[in-house]
Structure 1
Amino acid sequence: MSLPDLQSAFAQAWSDPDNLSLEAPPLDVNAVLADRYILAEPLAFTRTMLWDMEVRKARRPDLFIPSVVEKGSARAWVPEEWKCAGGDQFVRTSNQPDWDDPERVYRVIEQVHLDHDARKVTFIGVSEVEDDTGTLVEAGEGRPLFHVEHGTSGEEERPLNTWRWTFESPEDRGHLKALIEERAANGGRLPEYVEVYIRDVLGIGLEFNQPS
């Protein structure tokens, strides 16, 4: 059995005029590190490191984006029918707080494809899935399904982090667009997951140098 083509699914959703599709400017990790951070020791962040971070984050988003994913809520598994098809593809679930009301938490279900050649990871949101125990798991209601593409580009010594999001037919497009753009800007900081990788995986302390 062949795997579902998640990259084509993302491309189709991205081009659908009923959806809200957003793309952040590529982020030069080393430029932001040099400009905005004090490091405990010198670090030349590489594209290999950035992709290693994306692979780790894909399976354990609760460790790398704890502000977005509830601690300990992430699960990942390979559906039985995908196991003999080859390729690095799996399903994950996690609990994520509402963007406007953090007290409200949704279950998010995503089909995930890791393209190690292109160094790109695709997340396709789905409304329900059968988990590895045969139990039907349903996504939380109340916000549109969304799909995400994270990746790395640039040179080995000058990696660029890329993001694209597409939301299926959201009712409040303007408000949602503003929320995502604010999250992407992140106050001039690196994304949370890059900070976590540097601190917890590479073991290098860092401090954000807040501009005056």
Structure 2
Amino acid sequence: MTEKVEAAQTEFEKAWGDARYTRAELPPVDVNRILQERYVSEEPVVLTRAMLWDMEVRKAGNPGAFIPYVVKEGTASAWVPGQAGGELGDEFVRQSQQRLWLEPEQYGLVLEEVWLDHERQVVTFLGRARFSDAQGDPLTADTGQPLFHVQHGVAGTDESPTNTWRIVLLTDEPDERIVQVFDGMAESPWLPGFVENYVRDVLGIGLSRRDV
């Protein structure tokens, strides 16, 4: 872990512990159990911890491909600050038009610094109010909702991996309306959409939901 990645995680934890902010953590998702119980696949599929981490790395750099139900089509891009092209590496930034938490029919520009920790298998996203695009032109995040930080990760064993997720919104005081949105997400019987998309689009295995 680099010092910058460690500093990003420290910033996330400091925000997580701030009583003013709105935070939520989803229960770890036992991906293989849910795959077996809730889905029909065209061929047997078992996800390892390494595969889940591969998904998280891909998703971090290309959110439009993995969370199209959140990101407006054609609006996502990622780059290393000061570089117009090339490999992203483990420290980069991204922009996308994303659905607002409390007004999902509306989109707003979200700016994020992204930090990959391969050792812990955690991706830290830090929301920013502004930074420059790959050409050096200024970008300003939408003000229709508070800035937020997110951590996606992988836990469990290689044979029984789990997907983890938590968020903290930089509010003036905890907002129960937003918490209710995440409570609804936690009640879903399905895999997160990005896991479904990884199986279908990266592994090339057809997947459909069973009738519940």
TM-score by structure 2 length? 0.91
Question: Secondary structure at 2:75's aligned position in 1?
Answer: coil
Alignment RMSD (CA, Å): 1.8
Aligned partner letter, 2:185: R
Match of 1:207 in 2: 208
Residue 80 of structure 2 corresponds to which residue in structure 1?
78
For residues 14 and 102 of structure 1, the distance between their equivalents in structure 2, rounded to whole angstroms, comes to: 24
- CA offset at residue 170 of structure 1? 5.4
Give unmatched runs, 5+ long, in structure 1: 82-86
Tell which deviates more after alignment, 166-175 or 33-42: 166-175
CA contact (8 A) 1:198 1:205 kept: yes
Contact 2:24 2:167 in 1 (8 A): yes
Aligned partner of 1:138 among 137, 140, 150: 140
8 A Cα contact 1:144 1:170, kept in partner: no
- 2:198 is matched with 197
Q: Distance in 2 between matches of 1:184 and 1:89?
A: 29
Give the equivalent residue in structure 1 for 2:12.
Answer: 10
Tell me, yes or no, if structure 1 residue 188 matches structure 2 residue 189. Answer: yes
- Cα distance in 2, alignment partners of residues 210 and 124 from structure 1: 38
Partner secondary structure for residue 143 of structure 1: coil
The CA deviation at 1:172 is 6.8
Can you list the C-alpha shifts for 1:80-136, whole angstroms capped at 9, x where unaligned?
39xxxxx71100000012234344210000000000111100000010001221101
Q: Is the CA contact (8 Å cut-off) linking 1:97 and 1:103 kept in structure 2?
A: yes
SS at match of 1:24: strand
Give the aligned residue type for 1:196.
N
Q: Quote the offset at 1:21 in angstroms.
A: 1.5
1:66-145 matches, cutoff 5 A: 66-80=68-82, 88-145=90-147
Corresponding letter in the other structure for 1:141: T
Write the distance in 2 (CA, Å) between the matches of 1:114 and 1:42.
Answer: 30
**CA distance in 2 between partners of 1:93 and 1:13 (Å):** 21
Q: Match for 1:64 among 50, 54, 66?
A: 66
* 1:84 counterpart residue number: none
Partner of 2:39: 37
Cα distance, 1:142 vs structure 2: 1.4
2 CA distance for matches of 1:201 and 1:73?
21
TM-score, structure 1 length as denominator?
0.91
Question: What CA distance in whole angstroms lies between the structure 1 residues aligned with 2:128 and 2:90?
Answer: 18
* Cα 1:96–1:170 shift into 2, 3 Å: farther
Say how many residue pairs are matched: 205
Stretch deviating more after TM superposition (132-141 or 100-109): 100-109
Query: What is the identity, as a one-letter code, of the residue corresponding to 1:28?
Result: D
Offset from partner CA, 1:140-178 (integer Å, 9 cap, x none): 111001100000011111111001110111567111000
